[in-house]
Amino acid sequence: MKTIRLRIAYDGTDYAGWQIQPNQITVQGEVEKAIEELTGQRISILCAGRTDSGVHALGQVASFRSDFNIPPNRWRPALQSKLPAEIVILESNEVPEDFHATFSAKSKRYRYVIYNSVADHPFWRRFVWRISQNLDAEAMHDAAQTLIGKHDFRCFESHWPNKATSVRTISKLSIHRMSDWNLWSPEHTSDQRSETRSEFICLEIEADGFLYNMVRTITGTLVNVGRGTWEKSDVERILQAQDRKIAGGTAPACGLYLAQVYYDV
């Protein structure tokens, strides 16, 4: 019996999220169906992060155990042949028996992409949040720094409580304009060329875990700073108040990506 790890990218627009749900098309459901078609075995797979309806992934990680006679690196093309075009297996490999896609993860990084343009674009509508009003990305970045560290983030969690604790540790959080944006690159955008006049604004956030709608609510809150409605002190006040009602709105799912998951393996 081998433990197989998959790295997966997907366009989540037409899916009801990652997790299997009754009478819904989900990413997990499609991958498990592909495994069953290939092996004849019904296998439940684990994932690093259960992305919500409409959310995308550049580097989702899944794991499962199987005794099917196929080399670990061949799972990638074998499964791809049975998956819809919106779901792409980027990599497959064997990992230690005790590897767990969820609990073995040390941290995860999400990306939120805003298309800050007066005119819409037909090819970006499924993948970004378009905001026509000019945003101050530098002010957003400065305000975002107040969120770095270990805090109770219940003010950014929808339908609190969803977990045993809402305390999380954000290790990195940056917001900047990008002169160009590579949709398929999971690499941190801070390593790419930035430009003050670009129409793309990327939020990159890495933490040891995330609450329900946490990234999208943080984005909605910081967008109010970018609009000039709020200041850095307002973000600090919201964090201290621990009240979801006074934070910003929930940004649309279409601009959110699970970019990368980090493991010791």
Annotated catalytic sites, by residue? Answer: 52
Strand, coil or helix: what is 118?
Answer: coil
Cβ distance 257 to 206 under 8 Å?
Answer: no
Cβ distance 54 to 87 under 8 Å?
Answer: no
Cβ distance 226 to 140 under 8 Å?
Answer: yes
* Three-class HEC string of 228-258: CCCCHHHHHHHHHHCCHHHCCCCCCHHHEEE
Cis amide leading into 161 (omega within 30): yes
- According to DSSP, the β-strands at 149-152 and 167-178 are antiparallel
Cβ distance 256 to 18 under 8 Å?
Answer: no
Residue 130: which residues within 8 A CB-CB, separation 6 or more?
114, 115, 116, 117, 120, 121, 124
- According to DSSP, the β-strands at 56-66 and 129-130 are unpaired
